[in-house]
Amino acid sequence: MKTETLDVKGMTCGHCKMSVEGALNGLEGVTAVEVDLNSGQVEVSYDEAKVSLENMKEAVEDQGYDIA
């Protein structure tokens, strides 16, 4: 299991948080997602054998947010 912190730009509200959490939790291999709206950081725990950092970035970007 690996944990990565993503810097997500554009999250401002509870709906943003739910969108990002839903996108990441929908990926096979992601086990936990913690969104901090104040800092714009998303901590993701995942199985790197099942999902890549690139897959996670694409899922977040597909929701309309940018990864720094």
**CATH number of 19's domain:** 3.30.70.100
State CA 11 to chain mean position distance.
Answer: 11
Name the residue range of residue 16's domain.
Answer: 2-67
Q: Percent of the chain beyond pLDDT 70? A: 100
Distance CA 52, CA 37 (A): 23
CB contact at 8 A, 64 and 10: yes
User: How much is the pTM?
Assistant: 0.92
Q: Is the pLDDT of residue 68 over 90?
A: no
Distance CA 26, CA 68 (A): 21
- Give how many domains the chain has, as a whole number: 1
**pLDDT tens-digit series, residues 5-28:** 999 999 999 999 999 999 999 999
